[in-house]
Structure 1
Amino acid sequence: MSGKVTELESLLVPIIEALGYNCWGIEYLSQGRHTLLRVYIDHPDGISVEACAAVSRQASAVLDVEDPISGDYTLEVSSPGMDRPLFRLEQYADYVGEQAKIRLRVPYDGRRNFQGVIRGIEGEDVILQVEDHEYLLPIDSIDKSNIIPRF
């Protein structure tokens, strides 16, 4: 997790929790002059548009005062949805047995993209079964990961 995401989490998680929601994860994407801050919130009863708006208002106020992002940025607040991204090891543990797509920052075993079944966690690694092979993917090397919804 980048230092910027850690800084943003320290500012935003208390606000999100004070409003009664869980911070599922934060994505900070800076590409040239365009910066996107995406905040995923979750709740056992689901997330409404009103919940996203409430978190967005409070987060905007704190971000305006603390000013952790230089220049213009776009703030998005949403539910993780059915194809929920995974950010932390404990989230992988909660989805053992589910299909996931994982993209690594650097190639591992000659590839960056994996799709398979989450088998668990071991230390700081995610165990992913791809066909008949199990991979231990270090959490720090995972760039992006999403659950593949079942219909």
Structure 2
Amino acid sequence: MSKRITDIVRELVTPIVEEMKLELVDIEYVKEGKNYFLRVFIDSETGVDIEECGQLSERLGEKLDELDPIPYNYFLEVSSPGAERPLKNARDFEKSIGKNVAIKTYEPIDGEKQFEGELTSFDGTHVTLNIKIKTRIKEVTIPYEKIAKARLAVSFNF
């Protein structure tokens, strides 16, 4: 198969997601133990509910049954990415300015590879965070291409 399964699924699900006025956050196809899972994560400005997940699952399931691009039996899961949703692209970073994020980098920056703080700016090439260290705030700038993983981070202010 020349195309990756996630690419095929993206082509199938994108028109459905757009028609439903939802956002496609991520797609993953993984083997866990003996089972394969195809996971589709969706969101919207107001969040998603179980009915929207069910509708998308049903519609995508029909398309997958027609095309049959996956050679193994699998479980299809459609859900929200949750409160700590991944930041996968520039648009996600732009939408997350002012929010608390967690970032892991490919290589150390100022001796660290993990950062958590308020995303204060994103210019397309650099991400700037305000990180609280005890009682002071430190500004850290991270080159976008050095980010291995990023997600929203839930913070508990007491």
Query: With structure 2 as the length reference, what TM-score do the two structures score?
Result: 0.72
SS in 2 for 1:84: coil
Identify the residue that residue 54 of structure 1 maps to in structure 2.
55
Identify the residue that residue 23 of structure 1 maps to in structure 2.
23
Matched, 1:107 2:77: no
Matched, 1:146 2:152: yes
Structure 1: gaps of 5 or more residues: none
Task: Give, in whole Å, the separation in 2 of the partners of 1:48 and 1:5.
Answer: 23
Task: Give, in whole Å, the separation in 1 of the partners of 2:12 and 2:151.
Answer: 24
Q: How far did 1:139 drift?
A: 5.2
Identify the residue that residue 83 of structure 1 maps to in structure 2.
84
The answer as to whether partners of 2:103 and 2:147 remain within 8 angstroms in 1 is no
Task: Give, in whole Å, the separation in 1 of the partners of 2:108 and 2:36.
Answer: 29
Q: Which amino acid aligns with 1:37?
A: L
Structure 2: gaps of 5 or more residues: 133-137
Q: How far did 1:39 drift?
A: 1.8
SS in 1 for 2:128: strand
Q: Which amino acid aligns with 1:82?
A: A
Task: Give, in whole Å, the separation in 2 of the partners of 1:140 and 1:9.
Answer: 25
Q: How far did 1:116 drift?
A: 1.4
The answer as to whether partners of 1:82 and 1:149 remain within 8 angstroms in 2 is no
Matched, 1:118 2:126: no
SS in 1 for 2:39: strand
CA distance 1:142–1:40, change in 2 (3 Å): same
Task: Give, in whole Å, the separation in 2 of the partners of 1:137 and 1:36.
Answer: 33
Task: Give, in whole Å, the separation in 2 of the partners of 1:113 and 1:29.
Answer: 26
CA distance 1:100–1:71, change in 2 (3 Å): same
Task: Select the structure of larger CA radius of gyration.
Answer: 2
Task: Give, in whole Å, the separation in 2 of the partners of 1:128 and 1:51.
Answer: 34
Query: With structure 1 as the length reference, what TM-score do the two structures score?
Result: 0.75
